[in-house]
Amino acid sequence: MPKPVNSHEPTKTRILEAAETLFAEKGYAAVSVREITAAAGVHLAAVNYHFGSKKRLYFAMFEQRLLPRVMSVRPPIEALLQRGNARPAEMIKTLVRSILENPWPDDRRQVTARLISRELSQPTEMFDILIETYFRPMVQMIARLLSPFLGPDMTEESLLLNTLSTIAQITYFSNGQPVVTRLTGRPYDADFIDQLVGHITDFSLRGLGLERKPC
Amino acid sequence: MPKPVNSHEPTKTRILEAAETLFAEKGYAAVSVREITAAAGVHLAAVNYHFGSKKRLYFAMFEQRLLPRVMSVRPPIEALLQRGNARPAEMIKTLVRSILENPWPDDRRQVTARLISRELSQPTEMFDILIETYFRPMVQMIARLLSPFLGPDMTEESLLLNTLSTIAQITYFSNGQPVVTRLTGRPYDADFIDQLVGHITDFSLRGLGLERKPC
DNA sequence: GTCTATAGCAGGATAGAC
DNA sequence: GTCTATCCTGCTATAGAC
């Protein structure tokens, strides 16, 4: 448990921080309250005093730390939408970059991505909240961003699938880091992330039919 | 535990089957040996008698059931490669379909996909085996399939990233089923899977630069 | 609010009868 | 090989001293 303990934070915050890290690493079931309190440098009973139970600690962590952080990704992308004059290449590149090298603090990037991916692949009671407050608005916003360029004859569903194909790549290269590193031999440093952003942008632009190949 | 018990199978097999289902559903840590033996309809001590420990049961399940099954996806795709005269559109469609509606028995499709995705996103000691025996050969095979069409000036790394972008979509629409259903309102019936296969194929062909848009 | 002590139970594993 | 009974550890949760 090499996690620094921030001993000036209040007990409650220390618990939330430690819980977040551990839940992200191992998953809810594999983490014990003892482990969390030890990592947080607080006494065992503190979790039940402050949160009532282990499950409610998870929910509190989710609502108070995870959700606010993921919501913070949206404003910059919304700003892009408001401007209204961006070109598709620029839009997609910004989108990809804003998620791949996201604005969360360095020590929380991996943690945040893992918690989201965990919740999406193994829904708990938080699944609905995550979908409706974060994921669906995000997808709709991206779809609205793209839709003017994709032609008016495209169905809603087709627009959605195209949006999801773009998101699929971002998600895959973001969450699948262990696999990608293993296969390419490249660690996720600034260099490689740049390259990934470029690749995903190009592939998606072509996939969306927004960039013509020589014919 | 509505799982039927196949009471004519030997104890060992019954345990492996139940373990597979439960590990896929809940993850290793969240499943107890008691739960497994109850679902299998055998006595509690059977796990330790036949496998030595819960962890070794997981490994046995992985090697004896999961790996052989995922390996069975390869031959049909390899056959495509051997023929050598397939066109890219056909190849990619076959590839997408062979994974999206895979050849595993109906009651094992979801289970198999979940176990793989679990192992890739939360590596245990089996991660290396899965990567080296299944994933890397699979990716290399697909890359070899595509490479003749992508032009000789494409770097190895670029070829790999393009391949992964295609796989990313297949993986996303396959593993992200709860999310996709939630956002589209479509259950994964034959109809929708057809539509997904078509979409992923088209998007990927364009993404790879293999299908020209009107210009 | 903090922490100790412990209740109460579920977990994996095992010994030994059959 | 099968199954019962049980050990013991480690878990969540709580009671109650400070």
- pLDDT band at B215; cut points 50, 70, 90: very low
| pLDDT reading at B3 higher than 80 | no
Predicted model pTM: 0.90
- pLDDT band at A1; cut points 50, 70, 90: very low
| pLDDT reading at B17 higher than 60 | yes
Whether A28 and A5 have beta carbons less than 8 Å apart is answered as no
Average pLDDT of the segment spanning B120-146: 92
A81 or B162, higher pLDDT: B162
User: Contacts of residue B176 in chain A, CB cutoff 8 Å?
Assistant: 120-121, 168, 171
Would you state the pLDDT for residue B199?
98
Please check whether strand C approaches the CB of B26 to within 7 Å: no
Would you state the pLDDT for residue A7?
59
Q: How far is the CA of B16 from the C1' of D3 (A)?
A: 19
Average pLDDT of the segment spanning B145-149: 90
Q: Do A178 and B30 touch (CB under 8 A)?
A: no
- pLDDT band at B78; cut points 50, 70, 90: confident
Q: Do A173 and B162 touch (CB under 8 A)?
A: no
For residue range A61-78, list pLDDT tens digits in order: 999 999 999 998 888 888
Would you state the pLDDT for residue B171?
92
Nucleotides of C strand lying within 7 Å of any protein CB atom: 1-6, 10-16
**B119-126 long-range contacts, CB within 8 A, separation 24+:** B119/B62, B120/A176, B120/A178, B120/A179, B121/A114, B121/A117, B121/A118, B121/A121, B121/A175, B121/A176, B121/A178, B122/A26, B122/A27, B122/B27, B123/A178, B124/B28, B124/B58, B125/B59, B126/B59, B126/B62
C-alpha distance across the termini of chain A, in Å: 57
Would you state the pLDDT for residue A136?
96
| pLDDT reading at B77 higher than 90 | no
| pLDDT reading at A161 higher than 70 | yes
Would you state the pLDDT for residue B7?
60
Would you state the pLDDT for residue A82?
78
Strand C near-CB residues (< 7 Å), A 9-68: 10-11, 42-46, 49-50
- pLDDT band at B212; cut points 50, 70, 90: low
Residue of B23, B35, B116, B122 best to disrupt the A interface, most CBs of A under 10 A: B122
What domains does chain A contain, in order, with CATH numbers?
11-63 (1.10.10.60), 72-208 (1.10.357.10)
Q: How far is the CA of B31 from the C1' of C8 (A)?
A: 21
For residue range A92-129, list pLDDT tens digits in order: 998 898 888 876 777 788 899 899 989 988 888 999 99
